Structure 1
Amino acid sequence: MRLITKLVHPDVKTITGPTLTRRAARGIVLRDRSILLLFTERYNDFSFPGGGIAEGEDLIDGLRRELEEETGASNVRVQRDYGYIEEIRPHWRPGFALMNMTSHFFFCDIDPELRATQMEDYETANGMRPIWVGIDEAIAHNRGVMLRREASMGLSIQRETFMLEEIVTDLAKAA
């Protein structure tokens, strides 16, 4: 799998200190110029469905699990890997100053109908919901949030917006 980019969150002042390492798998599900994303009210942003992979869990198995839980997707078919992003960002857990997040992205197909989600409590509390949205609309929305530096802005918006823009660039090349 190719390294797409390395990102350092703007709030990181130094890349030294106790660091939590985390792996994640994220799905890219497209239908024409629409993409299946998660909108989170708390952060007012769009993000890719997917999330943390447990120690010893296979990336693809974890991706399928996350897509089913967060979007209600069924019959998840992983088509191909897109690449991964290495990211250093601040971390809130006691004992850690930083998080080193590796996000693996995969193109996926799913059945047309979404079932009920099985969000974790914190995801429900944050107002997270799956939504089909125009990819350009999602980029413009996230860019606006970053430009305004909204107080509620989450830590992942930089990574998510970067990836959305990468996909648009690749789609234009393929056209």
Structure 2
Amino acid sequence: MELIQTLHHPDAVVGGSEYTRLSVRALIAHGDQVLLLYTARYDDYSLPGGGVDDGESLQQALLREVAEETGARGLTVLAEFGLVEELRPWYKPDYDNVRMLSYCYLCDALPELGQTALEHYEVANGMEPRWVKLAEAIAHNEAVMAGSPKAGLSIARETWLLKRLQRHLQQAA
């Protein structure tokens, strides 16, 4: 998959030890709306997806994560969208950094969502799936980043991907 973005956290240890984490993200659009996860704790929008379990293919992980987080039905993978690489400080003492590799895919799903299977921390953070106008989600995340000196790489990654999706959809129209 083509590397489309590299992000480095300012506190990452240059030349430090690294743990690699594989993740997947789905970009699902219907017209001017995109299926996102709103998280009340952070007041932000993010793409559905998450970590790849041992023995899982990227696409198996994508289908599982999106179904769990959104209840999406009829989910199909349309195409690769690109790889985003991030280097962040790791919070456990065994490594200095985590290198997050997010494999992003264009997908399709039915508009009506079914039951979610959110993890405990996702429920505690107030995570819920929503169909949102793409431009509104971008504007919302940008306002959150502008208003918080603590805005991290996650919201920057998600907003960058949403803007790239917006350009992709405009070019396809």
- 1:4-32 superposed Cα distances (whole Å, 9 cap, x missing partner): 111112x3253332322101111111010
The answer to whether the 8 A contact 1:90-1:97 is kept is: yes
TM-score, with structure 1 as normaliser = 0.92
| Aligned positions of 1:80-99 closer than 5 A | 80-99=79-98
Secondary structure at the residue paired with 1:21? strand
1:145 equivalent in structure 2: 144
The answer to whether the 8 A contact 1:43-1:154 is kept is: no
The answer to whether the 8 A contact 2:48-2:69 is kept is: yes
TM-score, with structure 2 as normaliser = 0.93
Rounded to whole Å, the distance in 2 between the matches of 1:129 and 1:16 is 38
Number of residue pairs matched by the alignment:
173
Rounded to whole Å, the distance in 1 between the matches of 2:38 and 2:58 is 23
Distance 1:154 1:44, change over 3 A: farther
Distance 1:124 1:94, change over 3 A: farther
Compute the RMSD of aligned alpha carbons.
1.5
2:166 equivalent in structure 1: 168
After TM superposition, the runs of 4+ consecutive aligned structure 1 residues lying more than 3 A away are none
| Aligned positions of 1:38-117 closer than 5 A | 38-117=37-116
Rounded to whole Å, the distance in 1 between the matches of 2:23 and 2:11 is 20
Q: Percent identity?
A: 44
Distance 1:28 1:37, change over 3 A: same
Unaligned runs of 5+ residues in structure 1 are none
